[in-house]
Structure 1
């Protein structure tokens, strides 16, 4: 976690090259070169996700808006009870890479536990800027919340990784009653994994080349900017902020900064370190039932995979 003596604004003194290093998770991985790590991640996620789409009942590429990228995949909505909780996963890739199709594997343990699982897509940069992306995801959440109300779901739970963590956190700041007549209590929790809570350090880095964020647009779309609204709407939510042991130091700092703001305001929040994994391993391990973040997600939704296993054993007998 963050060194208490670490200068929170040190990034303003860094060169473009240093910022690129500090915000390039693949350069902090212990499993190989940046190219090897990214290649493995892309191949592994694609293979595992294809298996899940073949194995689990799903509705693919459901449109939630007019843009081509505004699509979502919904797993087990037709096989689980209407009141089942809904788990929403928003992928990362610095708003310019990867897609929902790469993360279908997240649905395997969660649908087994009894959660309808939704993978959301959005238009990537450079076709869309950060304001448009946040707006699109907000449209997607309106669709999901209306679906949850129609099903009388027990609750909606958000999860985002990396850039998806920023998007999930921004959704916690929205007044959903004004947007779609949904109370704050319908979104019951969130797990933000290796999230970006302040986008301003990305402005001088090559990451911003396709996004073209300004100081104003980066700050306006930073969860730290809307932390007051997140706190106001999350008084009765459970929030988990997770970071990988081998994430860049800046991801640790930003996660700790967000945790401190939420905890000091009395929000129910945990800050979790995932030992022995990097920025990519932490999200890959969501495939596995025994991974601690998978277990936290299941527990947050008041589900129990062990009970499902027992029921399956009885049925088999």
Structure 2
């Protein structure tokens, strides 16, 4: 007489092929001829092709970190944009030239990754000191010309940035940065050359808050004028955002409906 256990075992054995199919979701899709095509399409969609935003945090090169600067990731993910938040060593443990080099190393990784994955485009965004670091990255023609994947560069969003360091070295900010006065001009984006961006047709958005300090608004305007006059292109944009300050101008990035994300998505839809 067959036991209940034997019956269950026989049922499992007899139905194993059906169970295998039940637990293979790719076999149930009707979009492709084979399950392998289903899987390949899914992998491609979630790992490749998507535009990438690289976010560099501020903090006067001496505060904040990548872990607490991930707030743009969620809204951008839901807009099908990958986000990479870049961290860097902080002053005084690192010098400002070393931090500039770290951002360049991170950008090299991102460009090579974008090339490997077939990304439609790479964008950078930086806030405050992060905007300074992104601007320094973009000013290096040799780096862009000699880095595989840099052709994926599409644009950058420089938010409430500091572009001229000459006065900054006279403030308490320099207690940790320890920047010698003679380094202020070489490390200031305001005195760099950006003519090479014209051929690349890179779009640059220079943003500041209405309630930023006068010097931050002044430096944003002056940097915009430098770009406009040297790049000789219409791909440069300046906006002083109403009713926001130095901080909530990027804090909004954490919301699904925010102007930074909408600006990025608009650029992607228009140009990619």
The 5-angstrom pairing of residues 192-231 of structure 1 reads 192-226=158-192, 228=193, 230-231=194-195
With the length of structure 2 as denominator, give the TM-score of the two structures: 0.78
Which residue does 1:300 correspond to in 2?
267
* SS of structure 2 residue aligned to 1:147: helix
Higher RCO, 1 vs 2 (CA within 8 Å, ≥6 residues apart): 1
| Residue in structure 1 matched with residue 258 of structure 2 by the alignment | 291
Q: Unpaired segments of 5 or more residues in structure 1? A: 1-76, 304-317
TM-score by length of 1: 0.67
Whether the 8 Å CA contact 2:71–2:254 is kept in 1: the answer is yes
CA distance in 2: counterparts of 1:150 and 1:181, whole angstroms = 10
Cα distance, 1:177–1:163 mapped onto 2, change above 3 Å: closer
2:220 corresponds in structure 1 to: 255
Count residues in correspondence.
224
Counterpart contact for 2:88–2:103, Cα < 8 Å: yes
Which of 90, 95, 109 is residue 124 of structure 1 equivalent to?
A: 90
* Residue of structure 1 equivalent to 2:15: none
Using the TM superposition, give the Cα deviation of residue 300 of structure 1 relative to its aligned residue in structure 2, in angstroms: 1.6
Give SS of 2:244's match. coil
Query: Cα distance, 1:224 vs. partner?
Result: 1.1
**Residue 149 of structure 1 pairs with residue 115 of structure 2:** yes
Residue 205 of structure 2 corresponds to residue 240 of structure 1: yes
Write out aligned runs for 1:108-187 (5 A): 108-174=74-140, 175-183=142-150, 185-187=151-153
Range with greater deviation from structure 2 (127-136 or 170-179): 170-179
Deviation at 1:243, TM superposition (A): 0.2
For the residues of structure 1 that align with 2:99 and 2:176, how far apart are their CA atoms? Answer: 13
After superposition, what is the alpha-carbon deviation per residue over 1:213-233, rounded to whole angstroms, capped at 9, x for unaligned?
12222221111121x2x2323
Separation in structure 1 between the aligned mates of residue 79 and residue 185 of structure 2, nearest angstrom: 38
Q: Tell me, what secondary structure is at the counterpart of 1:117?
A: strand
Structure possessing the higher radius of gyration over alpha carbons: 2
Give the C-alpha shift of residue 234 in structure 1. 4.4
User: Residue 78 of structure 1: CA displacement?
Assistant: 8.8
CA separation of 1:224/1:95 partners in 2, compared to 1, >3 Å: closer, same or farther? same
**CA distance 1:301–1:176, change in 2 (3 Å):** farther
- Residue 50 of structure 1 corresponds to none
Establish whether residue 97 from structure 1 lines up as the match of residue 73 from structure 2: no
